[in-house]
Amino acid sequence: MFQKERMDTIVDILNQNGYVTVKYLTEELHYSNATVNRDLNLLEKQNLVKRSYGGVELMEQKGVPLLFRYHKMKSAKNKIGQKAAEYVRDGDTIFVDASTTAEYMGRHLIDKKDVTVITNNMALVMFLSEYNIRTICLGGEVVEKPSMLYSDETVENARHYHADKMFFSSSSFTADGKIGSSDTYYQLHRVMMENADQCFYLVDHEKMGCPFKRMHSFGEMDYIITDYQFDEELKEKFGDVRFVEVLS
């Protein structure tokens, strides 16, 4: 197991348990105390964990940091991203937002032909450009280190493009069909939605909860790709929306 895989596993264990001892981690991972401590030291430098008295716990955050969001629900995000990529056809131009869920989608685009990706995620731009996929970075200020961009300039740049499809995620959704959106990305999402022929909302079940004050509606979507099982009554309410359930 490589170091990144061990660190991903440690974060998953902490996400489930909150607090564990170093001894517990060495037994679970089957690695030496020294190896596990090196991984924990790196996680601590990234402000993801806090160490104390032979144990470790997740750092308390006002918001979920970007580096932690990459680890959180990674298996579900990867499956959702893989399914979303199946809807991208050769020759498509697509908007992809800066969410970690949409970034997971990127790794499943590398075999597409003549695709253009427009995004405010510098990490996604660099990754896809390595595979000779045409990418357009919308620019703006770094609002989430190291690679997420947003400003008035980002929004204005997005207005100049038209896309066949738009893929995005958000921080929360409700069982009655509301999509919570932060002030940071709300306006950009609105412009992308208006300038795309089809809108795809990608979301895992962990994000079920109270939305932010700014909201979109399921009714504005063409597809919702998720590992959450919505009830049939809601699906009937939004009859024009296709719900694609990615279940494990």
Q: Is residue 68 part of a domain?
A: no
**Does residue 116 or residue 30 have the better pLDDT?**
116
The rounded percent of the chain whose pLDDT value lies above 70 is 91
Q: Round to whole Å and give the CA distance between 124 and 155.
A: 18
Those residues with Cβ within 8 angstroms of residue 17's Cβ, 6 or more apart along the chain or in another chain: none
Choice among 61-65, 169-173, 188-192, 209-213 with the minimum mean pLDDT:
61-65
pLDDT score of 108: 95
Q: Is residue 159 part of a domain?
A: yes
Choice among 26-40, 64-78, 183-197, 234-248 with the minimum mean pLDDT:
64-78
Collapsed DSSP state (helix, strand, coil) of residue 15:
helix
Give the chain's domain count: 2
Whether 88 and 205 map to the same domain: the answer is yes
pLDDT score of 63: 47
Q: Round to whole Å and give the CA distance between 28 and 2.
A: 15
Range of the domain at 12: 3-62
Whether 215 and 92 map to the same domain: the answer is yes
Q: Is residue 167 part of a domain?
A: yes
Q: Is residue 67 part of a domain?
A: no
Report whether pLDDT(132) > 70.
yes
List the CATH number of the domain containing 83: 3.40.50.1360
**How large is the average pLDDT for residues 107-120?**
95
